Amino acid sequence: MITLCLDKYENCDIYRGKACKRYNMKKVAIVAQGLGDGGAERVASILANGLSKYYTVLFVAAYSSDKEYVLNDHVQYTYIDVSAKNGIERLEKRNKRIKKVIKEFGADVIISFVINELLYCNLSNVAPIIYSLRIDPAKVLKQRIKGKMCLFLYRRANAIVFQTRDAKNSFEEKIQKKGVVIGNPLTSDLPYWNGTNCKREIITACRLTEQKNIPLMLEAFSEFHKTHPEFKLKIYGKGPELNRLLGMVKSLQLMEFVDFPGHSTDIHEIMSNAMIFTLTSDYEGLSNSMLEALAIGIPTVCTDCPPGGAAEYITNAENGFLVPIGGKKEIVEAWTRLAKDEDLRCAFSKKSMTIRDELEMNRIIEKWHLLIENSFGGKK
């Protein structure tokens, strides 16, 4: 049984035997992979903290007990730890545990950043469910079983939050009617780009996975470096591709010019002092690091990958450069233009920073708040 931890609220009225407003709040359960170092986890944690102003919030970590992101004292937390012989059995156990935890919590609304793990809650009508899709729909829908499960559950959902219009439009009309596009929130403490004294550096920040196509960035940098030997490339992040990428750097003879500093807690400050930010992904949900780069004002180059996250916020040659997926030539050209044209860098920076208002954290939290209010007692 999940209970309210009263020692966190020793100064509130319920601790003194009186009625506590927070105790009588409606309850929202947020289910995510966990609090590890990932874009969806970041958004889920910000959402949990922001919604705790309005509701009693439970954060359910469905897969990972890692805690890169911090929940405030008003958010309850539980980790679903299951073991089984195979994936199907683990999924079934995880479904049962999540359903049990959410029923004991007494959720009035469920927000889910995962799909299949809410099957039992969905079928049992435990509470209205708002799903949030954080990846390219094509990668889900092309999977025979997971794709069918996604469509089945989304048809029964009360609402689905998409990160881009293209992601929403990837689904049938019935699901689109339940869909709403809400961008990722930006924190208010982002620095501003130091354009006058920035380093001759191109940087990226991402998970080192195959989808990010870092080899493309390395190949482009190898070409760019021939005419711009003063530049360095810094690739921040961790992931399974690191060793392969290190080998590629060695084969390209770029060891002195390419660094892999790993994960950095000061990444925003680092962005603000570099000259160019770049992402070369083959697909994305919606890159938080791209949004942060635009908000900071560092000139940005991104592949125009599905489901349209970069295109949602970058107008090519106005506030950044959009390049084709796999477009090595176009990346080199974009870097070259930015390297030699200070006026262009400043123009991009000024225009891209307007994203701060659009994705201001409290504004995004309020959009979620209104969506949740419309879901209380809602029918599927």
**pLDDT tens, per residue, the chain with 380 residues:** 333 332 333 333 322 333 344 456 899 999 999 998 888 999 999 999 999 999 999 999 999 999 989 999 999 999 999 998 898 999 999 999 999 999 999 999 999 999 999 999 999 999 999 999 998 999 999 998 899 999 999 999 999 999 999 999 999 999 999 999 999 999 889 999 999 999 999 999 999 999 999 999 999 999 999 999 999 999 999 999 999 999 999 999 999 999 999 989 899 999 999 999 999 999 998 999 999 999 999 999 999 999 999 999 999 999 999 999 999 999 999 999 999 999 999 999 999 999 999 999 999 999 999 999 998 755 44
Q: Could you identify the residue written with the tokens 């089984």?
A: 84
Which of 341, 334, 336, 351 lies closest to 298 in space, CA to CA?
351
- How far apart CA 334 and CA 325 sit, in angstroms, is 14
Helix (H) or strand (E) holding 131: strand 129-132
Structure confidence at residue 188 (pLDDT): 87
Structure confidence at residue 4 (pLDDT): 34
Structure confidence at residue 361 (pLDDT): 96
Structure confidence at residue 376 (pLDDT): 79
Structure confidence at residue 6 (pLDDT): 29
Whole-angstrom CA distances from 273 to 195, 250, 296 are 7, 26, 10
Structure confidence at residue 19 (pLDDT): 34
> Residues 262, 235: contact at Cβ < 8 Å?
no
Which residues lie below 8 Å from residue 118, measured CB to CB, with a gap of 6+?
Answer: 31, 95, 98, 110, 112, 129, 131, 153
Peptide bond before residue 137 is cis, with ω within 30 degrees of 0: no
Structure confidence at residue 377 (pLDDT): 59
| Terminal-residue alpha carbon distance, the chain | 28
The 10 Å Cβ neighbour count of residue 18 is: 8
> Three-state SS for 232?
strand
